[in-house]
Amino acid sequence: MIKPQKPANEAERLAALQRYAILDTPPDSAFDDLTAIAGAICATPMSTVSLIDADRQWFKGRRGLETEETSRDYAFCAHAILEPSNVMVVPDARDDARFQGNPLVTGDPNIRFYAGAPLVSSDGYALGTLCVLDDQPRQLAPFQIAALQALSRQVTHLMELRRVSRELSHQLNERAWYEEQLQHYQQELEAQNADLTEQTRTDALTGLANRRAFGVALEQALLAGRQVAVAVLDIDHFKIVNDVHGHAVGDEVLSDVARVLRSASGGSGLVARYGGEEFVWLIHDRGLSDAALQCEYLRESVEHTTQTLAVTTSIGVAVARAGETAEQLFSRADQALYAAKRGGRNRVVASEE
């Protein structure tokens, strides 16, 4: 017995074989069918689609054989791939020096006849063979050899198709994964943008709407033609709170007052921190007397329910006039606030309609 040599391009050949990812895959009826057709045309009891790995011969398709693989040292196909362009025919293995004493000849399955057409990849590497075998010596007719070559090309095309299909599926799966990640990142970006938008409209200390958000809400209410009132509220003597107790306590007072304002307003309209110790309240669908009454309730709530320090507030309120701008409305409410301060603080003053 003569052990088969390895092709000069063995490393590249094995790399090509690995690209097909076919070794040790489950049985495939398409390969089995081609194997059966080859055996039927050549009238042999055994036929295989054999792939030559680094140290073994593995059968992707087989007919008449029980084993799934053999040692490469004993493989007839390992000799056949040394001449990729030719069909290797062994009429009687016992008369061929390469196979005398081969366990596959002297024992099961008792191979006497072999014919193998190499499976040549698209880049020219012999990966294995489509072969037919018999336990009796014999020859093939020219048409059978031609058919075996044609079928070997079909096996190679099938392998190529499976490879392309697998790679395409992998690419589609990767694309789906990337699209999923992109959607995830998009959702995160939108959430971050929403958070940033919220931050640009929210006062960080009190959690109330800020001056910008109040301005937008007031403009929209006026454009919609709604009856709106603006109340401007200032914490009385807040500078003393900061000077005596420090800014940390001052911040606590601001947060405390904001909590009371949010609760006392009952979710009606929009309460915002305008700046410093000044707050504003946008009141919808209320005349001046009703708006002033609500502001009085707000003032009493601050005076009696703040917890950090006992503080009071002065409030000026004005109801929008026909054709009045947001700046003009706010200015009148602000003037009413200063009137409340001049009047002794801790009171509500309504701007005349």
Q: What is the pLDDT of residues 31-80, one digit of tens each?
A: 999 999 999 999 999 999 999 999 999 999 999 999 999 999 999 999 99
Percent of the chain with pLDDT over 70: 95
Q: Decide which of 29 and 183 is more confident.
A: 29
pLDDT for position 192? 62
89: closest CA among 68, 118, 63, 66? Answer: 118
Half-sphere exposure of residue 171, counting CA atoms within 13 Å on the CB side?
6
pLDDT for position 195? 54
Quick one: pLDDT band at residue 193, thresholds 50, 70, 90?
Answer: low
Q: What is the pLDDT of residues 265-291, one digit of tens each?
A: 877 789 999 989 999 999 998 899 999
In the chain, where the domains are located? 10-169, 211-350
Q: What is the CATH number of domain 10-169?
A: 3.30.450.40
242: closest CA among 311, 302, 294, 191? Answer: 311
- pLDDT for residue 200 is more than 70: no
The whole-angstrom separation of Cα 291 and Cα 348 is 10
pLDDT for position 167? 80
Quick one: pLDDT band at residue 353, thresholds 50, 70, 90?
Answer: low
Can you tell me the mean pLDDT for 245-260? Answer: 92
pLDDT for position 306? 79
- Matching residue, tokens 């048409």: 143
Distances (CA, A) of 42 to 142, 147, 245: 11, 9, 105
Kindly give, in sequence order, each residue whose CB lies less than 8 Å from that of residue 204, ignoring residues fewer than 6 positions away. none
Q: Please confirm, yes or no, whether 324 is among the known catalytic residues.
A: no
- pLDDT for residue 235 is more than 70: yes
Least confident of 123-132, 167-176, 245-254, 322-331: 167-176
Least confident of 118-127, 145-154, 192-201: 192-201
- Matching residue, tokens 């800020």: 210
Residue 148, both tokens? 């075996």
Can you tell me the mean pLDDT for 114-130? Answer: 95
Determine phi and psi for 9, rounding to 5 degrees: -100, 35
pLDDT for position 37? 95
- pLDDT for residue 261 is more than 70: yes
Give the relative orientation of helices 142-201 and 211-223 as an angle to the nearest 10 degrees.
90
pLDDT for position 105? 95
DSSP string covering 104-166: HHHSTT---EEEEEEEE-TTS-EEEEEEEEESS-----HHHHHHHHHHHHHHHHHHHHHHHHH
With contact defined as beta carbons under 8 Å apart, do 351 and 317 qualify?
A: yes
CB atoms within 10 A of CB 206: 21
Residue 336, both tokens? 């009413």
The whole-angstrom separation of Cα 55 and Cα 50 is 13
Give the relative orientation of helices 326-342 and 211-223 as an angle to the nearest 10 degrees.
120
Can you tell me the mean pLDDT for 309-337? Answer: 94
Determine phi and psi for 210, rounding to 5 degrees: -100, -175
The whole-angstrom separation of Cα 158 and Cα 344 is 96
pLDDT for position 267? 74
pTM: 0.52
What's the chain's length in residues?
Answer: 353
Active-site residue, from 277, 324, 352, 353: 277
Q: Decide which of 352 and 43 is more confident.
A: 43
The whole-angstrom separation of Cα 191 and Cα 133 is 68
Quick one: pLDDT band at residue 163, thresholds 50, 70, 90?
Answer: confident
Q: Decide which of 191 and 292 is more confident.
A: 292
pLDDT for position 98? 95
- pLDDT for residue 196 is more than 70: no
Residue 103, both tokens? 């366990």
Ramachandran quadrant class, 47 (left: phi over 0; alpha: psi -120 to 50; beta: rest): beta
What is the rounded average pLDDT for all residues in the chain?
91
Kindly give, in sequence order, each residue whose CB lies less than 8 Å from that of residue 65, ignoring residues fewer than 6 positions away. 46, 48, 59, 109
| Choices 3.30.70.270, 3.40.50.720, 3.40.50.20, 3.40.30.10: CATH for 211-350 | 3.30.70.270
The whole-angstrom separation of Cα 115 and Cα 120 is 16
Distances (CA, A) of 108 to 36, 53, 76, 164, 301: 20, 22, 14, 37, 101
Interstrand relation of 313-319 and 270-275 (parallel, antiparallel or unpaired): unpaired
Quick one: pLDDT band at residue 189, thresholds 50, 70, 90?
Answer: low
